[in-house]
């Protein structure tokens, strides 16, 4: 018998933050896993900002026999509910109108189900709402006002997500005549045309108050348990100062995250617009299906991103003027990550504990170009 919407409403916000598979679904997952006879090491991986989350998720999987998706959502909740983390959830940097809009998606490998929300406002844990979409509807994605209405009906708590810290950063951005916002220059208008990297920022120190924060945000987390069951989740506040309604790769199944219980899981952080065009997470899983290692699959996908990037976002040597990272976890516990440029790290939790490990890369530090930044123009 289907679970009614009203039955769920009374649970309240606290319970909403801990949505789990119903007993029948959990039993089906366990039966299917037992039949396969798979046995491998439990592993949880994420972007570096998920170091606390991978530790929690691994503990839930190994000590509490928690479902992999329940565990990693609990892991990303740590960052979503942390007002000091300006990448996701509460305290995330807002859009150009000062409104925090959040995106998230999740996939559950054993049941082959998925859920997502885009541009949702006033709900701190979009990853949980994405899972509610998966669990209680016949849809995969809800967006905007409809996503918020659904969340409120499910019992989630409405709250102001713009912290004073993020509001001050937004006001600082608003005070700038910003040459690198999300609007493209119209040919022939004042201020249009190519700009030399750093030309508008000469003489402005990195710790100067006129330097404005900019982030593409995001946390991706993937897990596999000893039975080989795989899940993935990605959650974000998106690009700071974005045009209202902008949705990146995080809530798009196959771009921001993807999993297949017969192969593994993958996800991304960084410039979502670049990843959307190659369906990066799906592509990585497909590469692993073809026999590539997680590292090979991530690096090959980075190459595909570069090949699909328009000229305005490449330096004269054809290297991307943005950062993008991919994370991959195979069903047998092998994992890796890769970034466009050297220096990134990722979080992992396994029998060796929770730690940060280096990621593979396509370009070295010396090949990294001057990246466009948001800062005030000099008068």
Dist. CA 153–CA 43, nearest whole Å: 35
Dist. CA 157–CA 118, nearest whole Å: 17
**DSSP sequence for 352-365:** TEEEEEE-EEEE-G
Dist. CA 352–CA 369, nearest whole Å: 36
* 84 DSSP assignment: T
What are the C-alpha distances in Å from 75 to residues 28, 46, 70, 273? 24, 10, 9, 26
Give me the catalytic one of 218, 235, 269, 301. Answer: 218
Q: How many helices (H) and strands (E) does the chain have?
A: 11, 13
**In degrees rounded to 5, what are phi and psi of residue 63?**
-100, -30
- Of 219, 234, 32, which is closest to residue 115 (Cα–Cα)? 234
Is there a contact between 345 and 48 (Cβ–Cβ < 8 Å)? yes
What tokens were used for 303?
Answer: 């190459």
**In degrees rounded to 5, what are phi and psi of residue 170?**
-65, -45
Quote the distance between the C-alpha of residue 258 and its chain's center: 11
**DSSP sequence for 264-307:** EEEEEEE-HHHHHTTTHHHHHHHHHHTT--HHHHHHHHHHHHHH
Is there a contact between 75 and 50 (Cβ–Cβ < 8 Å)? yes
**Ramachandran class of 322: left when φ > 0, alpha when ψ lies in -120 to 50, beta otherwise:** beta
DSSP three-state, residue 58 = helix
**Would you call 262 a catalytic residue per the annotation?**
no
Dist. CA 206–CA 229, nearest whole Å: 45
Is there a contact between 250 and 242 (Cβ–Cβ < 8 Å)? no
Positions marked catalytic: 218
């Amino acid at each position: 018998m289907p679970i009614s919407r009203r039955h769920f409403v009374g649970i309240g916000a606290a319970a909403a933050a801990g949505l789990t598979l119903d007993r029948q679904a959990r039993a089906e997952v366990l039966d299917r896993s037992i039949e396969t006879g798979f046995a491998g090491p439990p592993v949880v991986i994420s972007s570096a900002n998920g170091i606390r989350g991978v530790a929690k998720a691994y503990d839930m999987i190994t000590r509490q026999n928690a479902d992999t998706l329940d565990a990693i959502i609990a892991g990303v909740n740590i960052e979503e509910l942390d007002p000091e983390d300006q990448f996701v959830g509460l305290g995330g940097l807002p859009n150009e109108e000062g409104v925090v809009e959040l995106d998230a998606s999740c996939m559950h490998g054993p049941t082959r189900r998925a859920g997502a929300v885009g541009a949702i406002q006033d709900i701190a844990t979009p990853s949980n709402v994405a899972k509610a979409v998966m669990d209680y509807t016949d849809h995969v994605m809800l967006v905007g006002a409809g996503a918020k209405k659904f969340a409120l009906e499910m019992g989630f708590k409405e709250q102001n997500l713009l912290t004073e810290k993020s509001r001050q950063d937004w006001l600082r951005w608003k005070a700038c005549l910003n040459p690198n916002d999300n609007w493209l220059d119209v040919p022939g208008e004042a201020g249009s045309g190519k700009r030399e990297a750093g030309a508008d920022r000469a003489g402005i120190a990195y710790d100067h108050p006129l330097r404005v924060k900019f982030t593409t945000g995001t946390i991706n987390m993937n897990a596999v348990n000893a039975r080989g069951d795989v899940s993935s989740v990605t959650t974000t506040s998106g690009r700071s100062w974005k045009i209202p309604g902008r949705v990146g790769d995080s809530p798009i199944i196959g771009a921001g995250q993807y999993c297949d219980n017969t192969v593994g899981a993958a996800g991304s952080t960084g410039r979502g617009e670049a990843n959307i065009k190659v369906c990066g997470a799906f592509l990585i899983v497909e590469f692993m299906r073809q026999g590539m290692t997680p590292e090979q699959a991530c690096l090959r996908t980075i190459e595909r991103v570069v090949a699909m990037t328009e000229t305005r976002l490449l330096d004269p040597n054809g290297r991307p003027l943005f950062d993008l990272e991919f994370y991959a976890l195979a069903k047998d516990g092998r994992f890796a990550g890769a970034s466009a440029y050297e220096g990134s790290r990722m979080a992992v939790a396994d029998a060796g504990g929770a730690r940060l490990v280096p990621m593979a890369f396509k370009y070295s530090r010396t090949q990294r170009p001057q990246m466009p930044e948001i800062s005030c123009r000099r008068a």
